[in-house]
């Protein structure tokens, strides 16, 4: 079937089982081919092919509302809603988003990039439907990993309490990004093997219907027998206790089972859980055999072999460098404990997990819990290291402020994927953490210029005893500098002059330092000598160096791969104001007041004018303005 000819899912209504199976095969082949070029979340999507087809056959989108949680499993949904012709642009600059996108299609009812949000949003949509007296189904599709998130459990509690009409699809592939952890995962495991319970329950209900009605006593006894059977066969049936009718588990690759169960769910009143068992990566052997999450989301790969296409890299992966530096220090300090909210693979913590299993904790998709757990460890004299993506740290803002910074606890936060991340787009760009951390009292915030400085910052963070300290580091690989054998600490709040000059100063850090250095070299050729400073401590600022610059009335350009509002440049402006340097020319480059969509980092930087050419232009204007005004007096 030519998938690019699909304009809406209505064509599915009259397809028989054989035709659906052929369609599923064609979609798998299409996804394997397209993602081999663009990269993407191939594993999750191969696992939901039949499920997505069955949902669109059973319901009527967009009247009926589908909410995909986390959203990386919506590729098949996009194909069935008329976007197959755009898959060559998947996750590319100005192309098709890798997640649901309301502006892309009327069928994308809810935008997701972070997990565990679908049930709360679905509750809102269902309440709106009922207030407006409309008739439609609200169908969140949530994975077993996302279901462990606290927000999902809060929503389950509310939905069950209100007895709201809703059909929740639990896509259980026994694995999210990494192998799932936690008690809820164990409950699901028991449910997967509890088919005998469902069979016995049906037989019991059939038997009770044959008993003459003898009053409430018999009825209540029958209910107790059912409950006893439930607890006898399935220890802790979670969903029924939460107020949901539980259907399943069913084979998520069996069209007949899916059709029958979905029709049953549509006839029910109140909230329903349809527990569907799927196989992540189904239909592509390398993805099927993945047990650690390698095929959850990938770059380009060779379709025939599954070998990943690697670009030209010089240095080690940043995530690996930071985690390995922590691991080395753990050997001689038993107080160090490593924590991650479901990202042991993404944050390259496998070495820590292997060598120190008693001091490594993957808490699942529970960023708030991970953060406050780190605070609890710190109260007992331990040295917690919390590795968390910048975009996920947003979810634990209150815990950082209230539980870590306010009592001034010694927690080391490794902020992975800081800055632009590229193909995952606006839901994952790590550009807000400076702005939402910098104003919190007690916290230290730093970012290294290269891998060598990065490993020294790990040492600095784990030896710091005066409160919370956070280390930002980017996605991707380092620049390939030599690494010192012996780690050392860096004085807190100290900056470093990388290139001297007297006409203007560039203050920057991290990934934008190479760009600043190239810009400074070009300006030197024009007769403009620029001082380039590695402002590696974003908080506290190096006040001595700033005073030195401002006393000399030196024009300043700040550059950051982060939002300008409340960012590093704002901190420099605040310093000038607080110290009454009113005549200093200060210009700022960074992320403008907008969400940045998907695309390669270089293209995105060019799009927002965060380039060496722009830096050269800004310095030229600053120097010209300063020379026109003449020597200023402070």
- DSSP letter string over 430-474? B-SHHHHHTTSTT-EEE--SSHHHHHHHHHHHHH--SS-EEEE--
Q: According to DSSP H, which parts of 526-600 are helical?
A: 543-551, 568-578
The secondary element (H helix, E strand) that includes residue 196 is helix 195-209
| Whether residue 135 lies in the annotated active site | no
Helix, strand, coil percentages in the chain from 3-state DSSP, rounded to 5: 45, 15, 40
The secondary element (H helix, E strand) that includes residue 390 is helix 390-393
Q: How many residues does the chain have?
A: 634
pLDDT at residue 197, as a whole number: 47
| Spatial CA neighbour of 505 closest among 618, 633, 627, 629 | 618
Burial of 5 (0-12, 13-18, 19+ CB in 10 A): exposed
pLDDT along the chain (634 residues), means of 10: 96 97 98 95 96 98 96 96 97 95 96 94 98 98 89 95 97 66 57 51 56 49 51 56 89 96 95 94 92 85 92 88 98 98 94 98 94 98 98 97 98 98 95 98 98 98 98 96 97 98 98 98 98 98 98 97 98 98 96 96 97 98 80 42
Which residue is listed with tokens 């991707």? 476
Chain-centre distance of CA 61, in angstroms?
A: 27
Cis peptide before 114 (omega within 30 of 0): no
Query: How many other C-beta atoms can be found within 10 angstroms of the C-beta atom of residue 553?
Result: 17
Rounded distance between C-alpha atoms, residue 175 and residue 280, angstroms: 8
Identified catalytic residue from 50, 367, 453, 614: 367
Cis peptide before 581 (omega within 30 of 0): no
Rounded distance between C-alpha atoms, residue 15 and residue 23, angstroms: 10
List beta partners, residue 362: 340
Both tokens of residue 555? 């024009």
306: left (phi over 0), alpha (psi -120 to 50) or beta: left
Q: What is the pLDDT of residues 355-369, one digit of tens each?
A: 999 999 999 999 999
| Whether residue 367 lies in the annotated active site | yes
Cis peptide before 540 (omega within 30 of 0): yes
State the chain's maximal CA–CA distance in angstroms: 103
Both tokens of residue 234? 């399935």
Q: What is the pLDDT of residues 536-592, one digit of tens each?
A: 999 999 999 999 999 999 999 999 999 999 999 999 999 999 999 999 999 999 999
Rounded distance between C-alpha atoms, residue 173 and residue 179, angstroms: 10
Instruction: Let me know: does 588 contact 508? Beta carbons within 8 Å.
Output: no
Both tokens of residue 381? 């004299």
pLDDT at residue 536, as a whole number: 98
pLDDT at residue 233, as a whole number: 41
Rounded distance between C-alpha atoms, residue 406 and residue 441, angstroms: 7
| Whether residue 223 lies in the annotated active site | no
Which residue is listed with tokens 């997505």? 52
Query: How many other C-beta atoms can be found within 10 angstroms of the C-beta atom of residue 237?
Result: 18
pLDDT at residue 214, as a whole number: 43
| Spatial CA neighbour of 445 closest among 318, 557, 603, 566 | 566
Q: What residue ranges in 519-593 does DSSP mark as E strands? A: 530-534, 537-539, 556-563, 586-591
pLDDT at residue 201, as a whole number: 56
pLDDT at residue 2, as a whole number: 95
Rounded distance between C-alpha atoms, residue 257 and residue 251, angstroms: 7
Rounded distance between C-alpha atoms, residue 261 and residue 54, angstroms: 10
Rounded distance between C-alpha atoms, residue 523 and residue 624, angstroms: 13
Identified catalytic residue from 34, 91, 395, 459: 395
Which residue is listed with tokens 């409430």? 216
pLDDT at residue 459, as a whole number: 98
Instruction: Let me know: does 417 contact 509? Beta carbons within 8 Å.
Output: no
What 3-state class would DSSP assign to 142? strand
Report residue 545: phi and psi, to 5°.
Answer: -70, -35
Strand order in the sheet with 138-143: 65-69, 138-143, 166-172, 271-277, 245-251
Burial readout 486-500 (b: 16 or more C-beta within 10 A, e: otherwise): ebeebebbebbebbe
| Spatial CA neighbour of 437 closest among 466, 410, 475, 399 | 399
The secondary element (H helix, E strand) that includes residue 271 is strand 271-277
DSSP string, 299-359: --B-TTT--B------S-BHHHHHHHHHHHHHTT-TTEEEEESS-TTTTT-HHHHHH-GGG
Neighbouring residues of 634: CB distance < 8 A, sequence distance ≥ 6: 550, 551, 553, 580, 581, 583
Identified catalytic residue from 280, 282, 348, 438: 280
Neighbouring residues of 174: CB distance < 8 A, sequence distance ≥ 6: 144, 180, 188, 189, 192, 277, 280
CA distances from 180 to 174, 406, 555 (A): 7, 32, 53
pLDDT at residue 234, as a whole number: 46
Instruction: Let me know: does 343 contact 333? Beta carbons within 8 Å.
Output: no
């Amino acid at each position: 079937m030519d998938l690019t000819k699909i304009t809406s899912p209505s064509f599915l209504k009259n397809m028989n089982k054989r035709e659906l199976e052929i369609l599923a095969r064609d979609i798998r082949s299409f996804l394997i081919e397209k993602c081999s070029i663009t990269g993407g979340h191939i594993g999750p999507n191969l696992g939901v092919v039949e499920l997505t087809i069955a949902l669109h056959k059973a319901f009527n989108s967009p009247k009926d509302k589908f909410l995909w949680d986390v959203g990386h499993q919506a590729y098949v949904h996009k194909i069935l809603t008329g976007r197959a012709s755009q898959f060559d642009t998947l996750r590319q600059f100005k192309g098709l988003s890798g997640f649901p996108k309301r502006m892309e299609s009327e069928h994308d009812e809810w935008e997701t990039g972070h997990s565990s949000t679908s049930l709360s949003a679905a509750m809102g949509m269902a309440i709106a439907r009922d207030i407006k007296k409309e008739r439609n189904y609200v169908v969140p599709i949530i994975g077993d990993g996302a279901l462990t998130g606290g927000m999902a459990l809060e929503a389950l509690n509310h939905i069950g309490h209100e007895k709201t009409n809703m059909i929740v699809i639990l896509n259980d592939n026994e694995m999210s990004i990494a192998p799932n952890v936690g008690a809820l995962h164990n409950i699901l495991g028991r449910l997967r093997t509890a088919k005998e319970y469902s069979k016995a329950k049906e037989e019991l209900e059939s038997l009770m219907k044959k008993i003459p009605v003898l009053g409430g006593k018999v009825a209540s006894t029958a209910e107790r027998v059912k409950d006893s059977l439930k607890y006898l066969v399935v220890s802790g049936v979670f969903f029924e206790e939460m107020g949901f009718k539980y259907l399943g588990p069913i084979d998520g690759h069996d069209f007949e089972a899916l059709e029958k169960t979905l029709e049953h769910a549509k006839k029910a009143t109140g909230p329903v859980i349809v527990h569907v068992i799927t196989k992540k990566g189904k239909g592509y052997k390398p993805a099927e055999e993945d047990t650690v999450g390698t095929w959850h989301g990938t770059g380009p790969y060779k379709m025939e072999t599954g070998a990943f296409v690697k670009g030209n890299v010089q240095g080690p992966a940043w995530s690996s460098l930071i985690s390995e530096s922590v691991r080395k220090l753990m050997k001689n300090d038993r107080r160090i404990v490593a924590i991650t909210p479901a990202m042991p693979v993404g944050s390259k913590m496998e070495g820590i997990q292997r060598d120190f299993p008693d001091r490594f904790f993957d808490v699942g998709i529970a960023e708030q819990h991970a953060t406050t757990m780190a605070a609890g460890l710190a109260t007992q004299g331990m040295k917690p290291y919390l590795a968390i993506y910048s975009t996920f740290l947003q979810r634990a803002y209150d815990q950082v402020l209230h539980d870590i910074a306010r009592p001034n606890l010694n927690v080391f936060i490794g902020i992975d994927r800081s800055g632009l991340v590229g193909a995952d787009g606006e839901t994952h760009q790590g550009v807000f953490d400076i702005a939402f951390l910098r104003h919190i009292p007690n916290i230290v915030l730093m970012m290294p210029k290269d891998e060598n400085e990065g490993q020294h910052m790990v040492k600095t963070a784990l030896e710091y005893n005066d409160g919370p300290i956070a280390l930002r580091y980017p996605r991707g690989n380092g620049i390939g500098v030599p690494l010192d054998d012996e780690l050392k600490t860096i004085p807190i709040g100290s900056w470093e002059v990388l290139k001297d000059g007297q006409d203007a100063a560039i203050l920057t850090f991290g990934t934008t330092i190479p760009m600043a250095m190239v810009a400074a070299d070009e300006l030197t050729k024009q007769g403009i000598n620029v001082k380039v400073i590695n402002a590696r401590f974003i908080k506290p600022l190096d006040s001595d160096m700033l005073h030195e610059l401002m006393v000399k009335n030196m024009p300043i350009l700040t550059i950051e791969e982060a939002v300008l509002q409340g960012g590093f440049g704002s901190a420099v402006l605040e310093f000038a104001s607080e110290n009454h340097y009113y005549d200093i020319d200060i210009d700022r480059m960074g992320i403008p007041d907008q969400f940045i969509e998907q695309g390669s980092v270089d293209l995105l930087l060019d799009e927002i004018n965060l380039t060496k050419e722009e830096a050269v232009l800004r310095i030229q204007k600053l120097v010209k303005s300063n020379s026109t005004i003449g020597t200023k007096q402070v």
